[in-house]
Amino acid sequence: MKEEIIKIKEEILSELKKIKESKALSDLETKYLGRKGKLTVFLKQIANLSDEEKQKIGRLANETKQEMIRKFKEARSVISGETEAGFIDVTLPGEKRLLGHLHPITIVQNELEDLFRSMGFMVLDGPELESDYFNFEALNIPKSHPARDMQDTFYIATPHPNPLPHPQPLSFARRGERKERGQEEASVDQSDMVMRTHTSPVQVRGMLKYGAPLRCVAPGRVFRAEAIDAVHEHTFDQMEGLMVDKNISIGNLIAVMKELINSMFGRAVETRVRPGYFPFVEPGIELDIKCTICLGKGCPGCKHSGWLELLPAGQVHPRVLEYGGIDPNKYSGFAFGLGLTRLAMMKYKINDIRLFNSGDLRFLKQF
């Protein structure tokens, strides 16, 4: 009797292993545990046994039946997700947790700040409303320097006791027409302050504050008086870099820039260096990288040249060092500028610059 119970149990277990879907499972259950099932029927025989044997076998029989019921349950929950609480769809998504989003410029800026800090650079800040002195003069761009034409500058008006309701957008008016508005001109006299056109003024502020040697970067917002379209913005972000120390050479400059670019892109990037003109460096260079889109074959993205302009840089002009209170006979250094907005556009393949300041969540929630 005992052996037979164990035999049936093993039979059930071996058949259970083969079951892959719920209909077969139900059939199997009926076959053994149903009212006329094999195990059920067999156990009914126990009633006919002597009391002594009943006691001996009864316990085993009961345990076996309970165990089998459990086994079928387990098998069912494995096959169809049935649990004690009922059916659940395990393929459903989880409970929603809300994650916010950093602005893409912030993400790119953070990455670069970390990279530069790892190379020993401090991160500095500078004012967005800047003086003509720091934005131009101390950078070797005196008044009437043609380089001032290179950047369309937003000028700050002098405070006026009774300002007019509307400052006029002059950039659209032909400058020659300005006189005709007579009175209005009086209310928008130009002060000696501007919205900074680049992050370069932080170079001089940094030198004055920390002296030499100095390694720093200065990320931040800059402004150009330009009408907006898909590729032009009047507000965008840059990152300025400066290194001043003893015997800093052009070879050093290019080596650091190449290291920086390779880290930024996470691979060795082919570069080319050519002359570039910026009044606050001498000599000035432009560092181009092999176009990341066409890999140098030529495409609309690189104006079919195979190269992308990435990094204007140069040896700090001795006059700028002097403005920064540093003796150009003892120290030399280099400066460079990175377009954060441009890098973010490259990184995320964004082709409309207006999206950055749009406040549109369809855009911002992608980062």
Residues 75-104 interacting with other proteins (rule: CB under 8 A):
98-103
Q: Binding other proteins by CB under 8 A: which of 150, 186, 230, 231?
A: 150
To other proteins, the closest distance from the beta carbon of 266 in angstroms equals 19
Pick the binder of other proteins from 36, 44, 179, 349 (CB under 8 A): 179
- 4: contact with other proteins by CB under 8 A: no
Work out how close the CB of 346 gets to other proteins at its nearest, in angstroms, rounded to a whole number: 18
Q: Which is nearer to other proteins, 198 or 317 (CB)?
A: 317
Amino acid present at 200: S
Helix (H, G, I), strand (E, B) or coil at 230: coil
Q: Please identify, using beta-carbon distances, which residue of 249 and 351 lies nearer to other proteins.
A: 249
The span from the CA of 280 to the CA of 274, in Å, is 17
- Residue 299 found at the interface with other proteins (CB under 8 A): no
When the beta carbons of 54 and 221 are compared against other proteins, the nearer one is 221
Residue 246: strand, helix, or coil: coil
Amino acid at 346: M
User: How far is residue 218's CA from residue 113's CA, in Å, rounded to a whole number?
Assistant: 9
In terms of CB distance, is 27 or 327 closer to other proteins?
327
Binding residue for other proteins, selected from 68, 108, 112, 121, defined by CB under 8 A: 121
Closest listed residue to residue 153, CA positions, set 135, 167, 137, 139: 135
Q: Which residues pair with 218 in a beta bridge?
A: 240
- Residue 134 binds other proteins (CB under 8 A): yes
Count the neighbouring beta carbons within 10 Å of the beta carbon of residue 185. Answer: 13
169 makes contact with other proteins (CB under 8 A): yes
Q: What is the DSSP string of 183-239?
A: HHHHHT-EEEEEE-SSSTHHHHHHHHHH-SSEEEEEEEEEE-----BTTB-SEEEEE
**What residues contact 292, with CB distance under 8 A and at least 6 apart?**
265, 308, 346
Q: Which DSSP letter does residue 335 get?
A: E
What residues between 29 and 68 interact with other proteins by CB under 8 A? none
Indicate whether 331 belongs to the interface with other proteins (CB under 8 A).
no
How far is C-alpha 359 from the geometric centre of its chain's CA atoms?
A: 17
Candidates 55-63, 77-85, 166-174, 343-351; binding stretch for other proteins (CB under 8 A): 166-174
Question: Is the N-terminal amide bond of 127 cis, ω within 30° of 0?
Answer: no
Which residues ranging from 207 to 266 are in contact with other proteins (CB under 8 A)? 208, 213, 215-216, 221, 223, 225-228, 234-235, 243, 245, 247-252, 254-256, 258-259
Residue 188 found at the interface with other proteins (CB under 8 A):
yes
Closest alpha carbon to 197 in 105, 128, 284: 128
Number of residues that bind other proteins (CB under 8 A): 110
Binding mask 270-289 for other proteins (x = CB under 8 A): --xxxxxx-x--xxxxx---
